[in-house]
Every structure is written in C-alpha cells, then in structure tokens.
Structure 1
Amino acid sequence: MMKRRDLLKLAGITLAGTGARRLPLLAQTGVAASPASVAPARKADYTLHIAPVTVELDRSHILSTIGYNGVAPGPVLRMREGKPVVVDVINDTDTPELVHWHGMLLPAELDGTGEEGSPPVPPHGRHRFELTPRPTGTRWYHSHAMAMDDLHKGSYTGQFGFVHVEGESDPGQYDQELFLALRDWEPFFTGTMEDDDDDSHDGPLLEKPPTLNTDPDGLEVGSVTYSINDKALGSGEPIRVREGQRVLIHFLNASAIENRRIALAGHKMRVIALDGNPVPSPQSLDSIFLGAGERVDVIIEMKNPGVWVLGATEKVVRESGLGVIVEYAGQHRQPLWTDPQKTAWDYTIFGAVNSNAPPPQQTLEMIFEKIPGGAGKFNSWLINGKPYPHEQEFVLQQGMRYRLVMRNRTDDAHPMHLHRHLWELAEINGKKTSGILKDTVIVPYYGRAVVDFTADQPGLSLFHCHIQQHMDYGFKALFRSA
C-alpha cells in the first residue's frame, strides 16, 4: 500500500499571522471583525459574509475557496460570557449554508445544524443569530453543510474561524496571544493512503474484533497541501518573540480530514486548557495532539533564543506547509527543527484524582463499525449496527446524568463531538480519569472512550465524528430530550 509520504510534494516554507496580547477582534490574517449594521431592527455586533475568497499560501500557490469576510480563516470573534450578541450572516453564494458554533451551549435552533432543525442561511440571503455566549474559553465557528462527494463544500472549504468567549478570570499572565488553526487544503479522493500520523496504534486495542472485515476499503479523502492559518511554512511574516516572554497560543485543528501532532522545536508547551476548558492538572509537553475539531491552549515560555519551527511532527506534512517560523528578537539564522521525544498522547495526565460531578445514573453503549465500500465508492459507518438517524434510540431525560461508552471497532481514531453539551472524560482504554471537560474526544484506534454528561439542553443534539466524510456517510446520531 502506498504511504502518505509517497504522495506528498514538498512545499516551500511559511508563516502564520500573529496577534498581540488582547488585540480585539483581530483575525490572524490581519482582517478585523468589525461590528457592522446590516439589519434595521438592531445593529449587529458582528457580520459574517460567506463568499468566494482566495488564499495565498505562498507566492507560487494561490487557491480559491469559500470563506468569511474575504479571508480564511475568518475573523476572531471575541465575546463576553453571558452578554448577548447579534451576529448577522450574509450568504453571497448560490447554495444554502449552515454556521455551527462549536463548543457553545446554545438552543438547537441556533446551533447551526440541519439535523437539529437549525434554519440554513439561504443562497443570496441572510440569517441573524442572537446568541448568549457560554461557556468561557476557545470555541470556533464553521460550516456544517453536508459535502458528500463534493470536496468544495462544508468543512473542506475555508469557512472556519475562532470564537473566544471571555469570562472574569484570565488564563494567566502572558505577553502575546496567538490564534493558530492547523489546516489542510485542496482535498482529493484516494484509495491508496494509510495514516502515518495516527497516535493510537500502540494502544491496548481493547475493541479490536476477533475477525476483521477484509473487504477493500472505499475511497477516502486526502491532502498534500497544508498551512497554519492562511500561510504555508516559510511564507509571510514569522511569529516574533523576545526572550523571557510568555506566549499564549490557542490551537485549533480545523482539518476536515486528519488528526494532527505538533511541536515547537526547542521548547515545551504547557497545556492549560482542552477544548477551551481549563484542565485540573496542567502539563508541560514536547508536543501536543489534536483531533479534528479539538482545541488546545498552551503557554510557552520563550527562553531558548534562536529561530525555530513550530509545526507538524510528521516531516512530510510539515515540509508541505503545516508550520510557522518562530523568531526571537535579534536572531537571524536558518530555522531549526528538532524532533520531539515520541510519547503517546494521554488525556488522563491532565485529569484530577476525584470528580466533583455526580455519578452517572444511566449508561448508553455505542459500538462504531465501518462497512468497507458500504456507500458505493465510499465506506459507510454504523452505530450499534444501524445507520443515521437512530430514531428514538437515544432519548435523554432532562437533568439525568449519563455515561456514554464509545467502543471503536474500526481501524481509525475518531474525534467524536456532541453538540450543545460538555462531557467529562471518565476513561480512555481502561485508564480512568476525571475533571477533564471537553466537547470533542478522540476514540482510539480499536479502542474505547467513556464520558459522562448531564442532559441539560432541551431538544435535539447531534453526535458525530468530526471527520467530514465519516459524518456524511452515516457516522452520526441524534440525541433527543424526552
């Protein structure tokens, strides 16, 4: 089987934009999300225009996609927890669009998913969102349109951006704040790639079936073009720092395709929050791992002067664009990369010994299966032996505490996302933990993840794999409140 490195072409070197501490509403592309008035009833706090954009990854590579406000990623939106805001979305394309507010606790009609009954933004029309942002932390917004076999729709496009919901407390003293989105571009269908960057292949494989389905896989989606924000490694301006600074970085894996591991050569990253939620036990690590849709907030102490590369630990991905130069003041030399120590990503190191949450009152079991070629040219996905929508299968009693046991009987690590709720991680592959609040969790390759959550959001809540193709071809279910 051909490996990813045999398909990738080396790209030139780049950069991602930077942002100073507390720069209000400044997208890392340099375009501000200025409040705008687009509706007569009330002035909107923010306006997002969905329209074709061009992204110049480097001088020799300019691509066309759909984005927000003329850029991709879209502007960083800063909101205050509990303070209502109005966002007007104007769709200047020929197709209906959906804007999902990932990680925010909103009513179903505002969540931005068709499965939950959220109204779409019509072609050449508009939709007004009146949001009360919560909880605090790093959230994001993105298209939730289904793409199926159209790689120019949904999360394959440039429709994504950060939301930062601010509370009363600060994540710590820092001198510079950055919003960095990991991204792949120009997706294509392939039947000849295998994952070289899956972090969970060395796990205990608790859910590996005794007999594997050996039917040939359908087509998957791949990419050979990468960036951090809108620039490939070596293009644009570097992130400029001074010795002694503390830099807060909000990382987002905005990929529609892959999970990613990244590092800053010569430095450790102190993880302080996962999916925007502070962790009970911050840890300093050589590298971090993000599933599609996940966010990780880190503090980096700049105490190793030089010019370094921040990027993917997988060499061919990094050299194909997924990186940015970090340059200390007064340093002028070739950027240096050193491979970090290879250690497995382990959520549980960030957890607490005991949970303050009430124990679960009911357990929901889920078994994930892949049917190779089950959707013609593509694979299909089942939960508990059934395709979407699982009518009346997952009915939740309001206020009840549930334990969700996710058993992954497939050869992929799946970033699973539950809309409109936070869940507490209870176990990964038999290793128990508590106190880690997330909205997206990677269920390991042939592994198991257990989370607890309270059914405190009335209406429909979508549960799905955050890899676009998996979601489109059946890897989702609706939770319903009784």
Structure 2
Amino acid sequence: MTQSYLDRRAVLRGATLMGSGVALAGWLPAWAQPVSAGIAPDMPVLSGEEIAIRIAHQPVTIDGRTSHGIAMNGTIPAPLIRLREGQNVRIAVTNALDEDSSVHWHGLILPAEMDGVPGISFPGIRPNETFVYEFPIVQSGTYWYHSHSGLQEQLGHYGPIIIDPAGEDPVRSDREHVIVLSDYSATHPHVIFRKLKQQGGYFNRRRQTLAGLLAGRDQTLRERLRWGAMRMDPTDVADVTGAAYTYLVNGHGPADNWTGLFRPGERVRLRVINAAAMTIFNFRIPGLKLTIVQADGQNVRPVAANELQITVAETYDVIVEPVEDRPYTIVAEASDRSGMGCATLAPRAGMSAQIPLPRERPILTMTDMGMSAMDHGALNDDSRAGDGGHAGHGAAVSATATPQGSHAMRDFSNVPNVARTPAVQSIAPMPIDRTGEPGIGLDDVGHDVLTYRHLMALDRNPDVRAPSRSLQIHLTGNMERYMWAFDGVTFNALTAPIPFRQDERVRITLINDTMMAHPIHLHGHFFELVTGHGSYAPRKHTVNVLPGGSVTLDVTTDALGDWAFHCHLLYHMHAGMMHVVAVRAKGTG
C-alpha cells in the first residue's frame, strides 16, 4: 500500500525532523535528482586512469530550503568514483574555495604522501591551486572520500568510492545502489562548534522532565537523584541532534523521497556509507532482512540481521531480496532518535511506503559510565563529577571507592599513561568489552541487530602472527569545556607521535572513559578486531567504541610514514581527539 507525498511529510513533521519546509518535488536542481545505480538515473560517476575534481562553494536545496554548501564537480554528495583493483589512478583536485582544502581517501591503502591530511601527509591544497594524487589501487570494496581541512566535511565535501575486484566478486547481486548517509545543518559548522564550546549539551532538546517522572518514563526518582548528584545527564547521547540537523540519503532530505528501484525477486546490493559529520545511524528497512556481506570494504561471511548500527565513517554492504511488488522505506535513524533520514526502495518511481514512528529516545545507564560491575548503590549524594558543573558525556566514576562510598572522579593510579589535564574529566572504573552489544538503545528492539562479534572475515587474515607488544589508549574528554583527547593529550603540532616499527604486530586496547561513543579511525591500515574469531577476525579501518567500553584490535604496521589516528566525530577531532601514528623502517631512529 502506497502513501501520498503529503502524508509522508506529515509523518516526518510529527517525528520532529528539521527543515521539511515546502517540498519542491516537481522541481529539483540538477544535483538533487534521484541517485541510483539501477533503473533510476545514475549519480555522476568518475572512472578511468585520469580523474579531475573541482572543489567549490555551492548553494544546496534540501527539502525546499536553500543554504550554503561545498561541492565537488557541482554535486553533494560528490560524484561516485568507480575504480578497479590493480589499476593506477591520477586524480587532479583543484581548489576553487577561498581557503585551503584537501581530499582524504578514506580506507584506501596508498603511499602516506597521498593520504590527504594537511600538516601530516602533505601541505594541503591552497586556493586556486591543483594537487595531483597518484596511487595504485591494491584493494576492492566500498569506501569514500572527504575533506580533512577545517570543518568542510560538514558542508558537503564527501563522496563515495567503489572499487571492483580484479577477479570474480564473491558477492552475487542483480543490482546495486549506493546509499550515502549524512547530516546537514543550515547553521555554519564553526557556529555549531562555538555553541558546543559554550555549552556541551546545547543541542540536547530532549532532557528528562518532571512530567516524564510523574508518568513513569525513563528513570525512577532514585535513579534521577543519583545522576543529579553526579551532575550527569543520561539523555545526552549526541552532541549535535535533530534540533540542528536534517538527515540525508544521497544528499536528499526526507521530503525528496530518493528512490532506488528493484524488480521483485532480485538480489539487491546496498553499499551503505556513513559520511555524516557527527551522526551514528541505526539502519533498517522494515519488512526486509539485511544480509551483511562486507564491512569497511572487506568481505565477511554473510550474516543476517534486521538492523545495524553504522557509526560515522564505516561502510557496510548488505543484500536485500524483496519479493513483493511494493515499496519499502529505507530508515537511517539517528542513534539518539532525534530524527531520521528516509528514502524508498521500490519497483517503480513515484512510490513510497509507510514511515515508522520514532522510537523512544535511549537513556544512558551505569554501564555507559564504565560501572557495569560496580555496586551502583554505593553512589551517594556526595558523588561529584570531576571539575564540577555539567558532566554530560565526559563523566564516569573512578575505580577507587572509599569505605564511605564516595568516589574520586579522577583517579590516575591505574592509568599512569593518562596525562592529568583538563581534557580528562573522569576515568571509567570498570570498562568492559562491549563488542557483543548492538549499540546504545538497541538492546530491546525486538529483532536481530548486528554486533561486531557477528562479523567474521570471509578469507583468512593476511597476518596471523601473535602481537609482539601491546598498548592501551584511553579516549578522554571534558564535556563542560568540550575538550576531547587521547590519554588526556589534545592534538597540536608539537604532540609527539605514537611510534611503531615497520611490520610490527601490535595489540591496541582502546578504553572509552567518556559517556559518548567514539568512532576511531586509523589511516593507511586495516586492523583485526579481537572478538574471538582467530585468523578470521573481521578487518576494519574504523571501530565504534561504546561509552564505558573497550575494544581490542591487532594491527600490522606495514605502511611507512606518518598517519592520522583520530575520532571521526568531526567536532571531537577538531577539539583535540587526534594523534599521529609514525611508522618507521627497522634500524632507523
């Protein structure tokens, strides 16, 4: 059963999505035409040995509202770059902006000087200049590219990459669609960042209320008193929410009804890319099972789920097999449930399906404070959150409790590598491996949700040596001051890099001492998640570390040079959660 366009928009307004405005369904600019790799018109595609890209300012119209963006070759998202494993490519990038820019090829294995990070791998691209990236294509899969300059990524400076395998593709499909998820705000990103620095919870418009308490929603009075004594907000799940963002699918707002076509009975491959600046999405298609066949461009053993959480900078390839002659709604719901991006999978253009109602917003728990194994009742009204004030995402309780039950919020006794700086508001007392969990708010949705532990590599890992050494890295933050860091150290030009030797095998444990999930990305390398699958561990370039949780990964540092290592939440990286990994040849200083 189809639904009219006006009905669809009414549902979206009820879901409190921003910027729905007056839908100009009959008139859209060229960049906003339906994007599909199937029967519908294709998105612009660049391929071959020589590619040219021009970065420039661009007006963007989303759900009838026009504002400013940054486009590549006049489109947002940027054109699809389609390559083949084994080829060489030269990509000439011209910067027509009035500020420096860059392009980083996210997830691609290439020489360090081609990685595209200003100040680390190259100087950047100055206004009215052209830089030529040249590198061999040594892999296949679904990837993407984006700016690593300032906050340009938030304005539309991103696009998809598909690399076809040199031989036969183990993933069989009859048709494919590229699904680029993102977030957009008419508010300039520097204004957003300034508001976050002024008040970390500025965009959280869904705090708990007295009415909610009286209605028995969310927390009990006792729980609220405990959290209030620690000056923490359990609804503070995302820094930037639907109060500021419209959530996009292939550059389209929900009212655009972007449509990917299929014929009933086909195997349809969806190449899903989270190119958002700050939004972790819960992805599902009500009425269809998702079969996950690839993660971060690497083939995995097929695993079925009804929903998956895709963090910022991850990619997942999924197979769906619609057999009914009817439309299905593609749902990309923000993890804090403050809004959703919507599109349609349909047998014919012009169709739309029912949009699910928004689900209850998630509430953080003691586990998200890194206190899963502690006696929560030991907390009393004397508990305090670090430096005082609103603790928000940055708070957790220390591992050392006095006999009276009070807690020192910053106890460094068990974490000597963490610097005692304002960027450490707290230390998680008992972080646990949460890779078997589906993500915040998805524990009780009533259907199968993908977790990292479900993923197994399709082929044996290329390096199965045991690690020769190990290290811990703490993800730290201070929400009140909006400071984010690794081991309490915010990044600057004088920050010492993390040193590795070429071809070293290292086990890294990431410990999240904050109450926000962090998608951590390592440039130039893939790593294996230590989730119990041995030589078939899933290989990834980005991993989501849940609040109060830890993730262990093994990496072979086989790429010489300096590489960025950072949280892929744009404003977290901008505020200091970034480092440099330096891989040096054996025998050098």
TM-score by length of 2: 0.67
Q: Residue in 1 aligned with 2:538?
A: 436
Contact 1:361/1:400 (<8 A) preserved: yes
Q: Is the counterpart of residue 93 in structure 1 residue 104 in structure 2?
A: no
Q: Is the counterpart of residue 472 in structure 1 residue 574 in structure 2?
A: yes
Q: Residue in 2 aligned with 1:364?
A: 471
Q: Residue in 1 aligned with 2:299?
A: 278
Letter in 2 for 1:179: V
- Structure with the higher strand share, 1 or 2: 1
Aligned with residue 312 of structure 1, among 309, 316, 332: 332
Q: Residue in 2 aligned with 1:178?
A: 177
1:92-111 correspondence runs (5 A): 92-111=96-115
Q: Residue in 2 aligned with 1:241?
A: 262
Root-mean-square deviation (Å): 3.3
Contact 2:19/2:246 (<8 A) preserved: no
Q: Is the counterpart of residue 294 in structure 1 residue 314 in structure 2?
A: yes
CA shift for structure 1 position 452: 0.6
CA shift for structure 1 position 459: 1.0
CA shift for structure 1 position 7: 6.8
Contact 2:266/2:321 (<8 A) preserved: yes
Separation of aligned partners in 2, 1:174 and 1:458: 37
Contact 1:268/1:300 (<8 A) preserved: yes
Letter in 2 for 1:83: Q
CA shift for structure 1 position 53: 1.9
The higher radius of gyration belongs to 2
Q: Is the counterpart of residue 229 in structure 1 residue 250 in structure 2?
A: yes
Q: Aligned to 1:322, what secondary structure does the other structure show?
A: strand
Q: Residue in 2 aligned with 1:395?
A: 499
Aligned with residue 326 of structure 1, among 327, 341, 345: 345
CA shift for structure 1 position 436: 0.3
Letter in 2 for 1:70: G
Q: Residue in 2 aligned with 1:207?
A: none
Separation of aligned partners in 1, 2:308 and 2:106: 21
Separation of aligned partners in 1, 2:186 and 2:557: 37
CA shift for structure 1 position 383: 1.5
Letter in 1 for 2:101: E
Letter in 1 for 2:542: T
> Cα gap change, 1:435/1:419 in structure 2, threshold over 3 Å: closer, same or farther?
same
Separation of aligned partners in 2, 1:328 and 1:341: 28
Contact 1:138/1:165 (<8 A) preserved: yes
User: What is the total number of aligned residue pairs between the two structures?
Assistant: 435
Separation of aligned partners in 2, 1:367 and 1:195: 29
Separation of aligned partners in 2, 1:322 and 1:16: 15
- Structure with the higher helix share, 1 or 2: 2
Aligned with residue 480 of structure 2, among 370, 373, 376: 373
CA shift for structure 1 position 284: 1.3
Contact 1:392/1:480 (<8 A) preserved: no
CA shift for structure 1 position 31: 2.6
Separation of aligned partners in 1, 2:526 and 2:145: 17
Q: Residue in 2 aligned with 1:143?
A: 147
Contact 1:267/1:304 (<8 A) preserved: no
Q: Aligned to 2:45, what secondary structure does the other structure show?
A: coil
Q: Residue in 2 aligned with 1:264?
A: 285
CA shift for structure 1 position 163: 1.3
Q: Is the counterpart of residue 122 in structure 1 residue 126 in structure 2?
A: yes
Residues 414-423 or 6-15, more deviating: 6-15
> Cα gap change, 1:382/1:31 in structure 2, threshold over 3 Å: closer, same or farther?
closer
> Cα gap change, 1:89/1:448 in structure 2, threshold over 3 Å: closer, same or farther?
same
Contact 2:253/2:341 (<8 A) preserved: yes
Contact 2:77/2:156 (<8 A) preserved: yes
Cα-to-partner distance string for 1:72-104 (whole Å, 9 max, x where unaligned): 111111112231111100111111101001001
Cα-to-partner distance string for 1:329-385 (whole Å, 9 max, x where unaligned): 5x98751245874555411111269975111111121011112333xxxx1112223
Letter in 1 for 2:306: D
> Cα gap change, 1:411/1:343 in structure 2, threshold over 3 Å: closer, same or farther?
farther
> Cα gap change, 1:447/1:34 in structure 2, threshold over 3 Å: closer, same or farther?
closer
Separation of aligned partners in 2, 1:242 and 1:64: 37
Q: Residue in 2 aligned with 1:161?
A: 159
> Cα gap change, 1:366/1:94 in structure 2, threshold over 3 Å: closer, same or farther?
same
Separation of aligned partners in 2, 1:84 and 1:195: 49
Separation of aligned partners in 1, 2:148 and 2:470: 29
Contact 2:249/2:258 (<8 A) preserved: no
Contact 2:329/2:352 (<8 A) preserved: no
Contact 2:252/2:258 (<8 A) preserved: no
CA shift for structure 1 position 117: 3.0
Cα-to-partner distance string for 1:379-408 (whole Å, 9 max, x where unaligned): 111222322258445210111101110000
Aligned with residue 556 of structure 2, among 427, 449, 454: 454
Q: Is the counterpart of residue 425 in structure 1 residue 430 in structure 2?
A: no
CA shift for structure 1 position 215: 8.3
> Cα gap change, 1:121/1:171 in structure 2, threshold over 3 Å: closer, same or farther?
farther
Q: Aligned to 1:441, what secondary structure does the other structure show?
A: strand
> Cα gap change, 1:250/1:393 in structure 2, threshold over 3 Å: closer, same or farther?
same
Q: Residue in 2 aligned with 1:19?
A: 37
CA shift for structure 1 position 238: 2.2
Letter in 2 for 1:309: T
Separation of aligned partners in 2, 1:313 and 1:165: 27
1:46-125 correspondence runs (5 A): 46-58=51-63, 60-125=64-129
Q: Aligned to 2:55, what secondary structure does the other structure show?
A: strand
- Give ranges in structure 2 of 5+ residues lacking alignment: 1-13, 26-32, 196-200, 207-226, 358-444, 585-589
Identity of aligned residues (%): 26
> Cα gap change, 1:425/1:137 in structure 2, threshold over 3 Å: closer, same or farther?
same
Q: Aligned to 1:114, what secondary structure does the other structure show?
A: coil
Contact 1:227/1:323 (<8 A) preserved: yes
> Cα gap change, 1:126/1:321 in structure 2, threshold over 3 Å: closer, same or farther?
same
CA shift for structure 1 position 194: 4.4
Contact 1:16/1:232 (<8 A) preserved: no
1:21-36 correspondence runs (5 A): 28=42, 30-33=43-46
- Give ranges in structure 1 of 5+ residues lacking alignment: 36-43, 148-153, 197-209
Q: Residue in 2 aligned with 1:349?
A: 454
Contact 2:526/2:539 (<8 A) preserved: yes
CA shift for structure 1 position 195: 10
Separation of aligned partners in 1, 2:448 and 2:483: 32
Q: Aligned to 1:457, what secondary structure does the other structure show?
A: coil
Q: Aligned to 2:572, what secondary structure does the other structure show?
A: helix
TM-score by length of 1: 0.82
Separation of aligned partners in 2, 1:413 and 1:194: 16
Q: Which has the higher contact order (CA 8 A, sep 6+)?
A: 1
Separation of aligned partners in 2, 1:86 and 1:462: 22
Contact 2:285/2:329 (<8 A) preserved: yes
Separation of aligned partners in 2, 1:354 and 1:159: 34
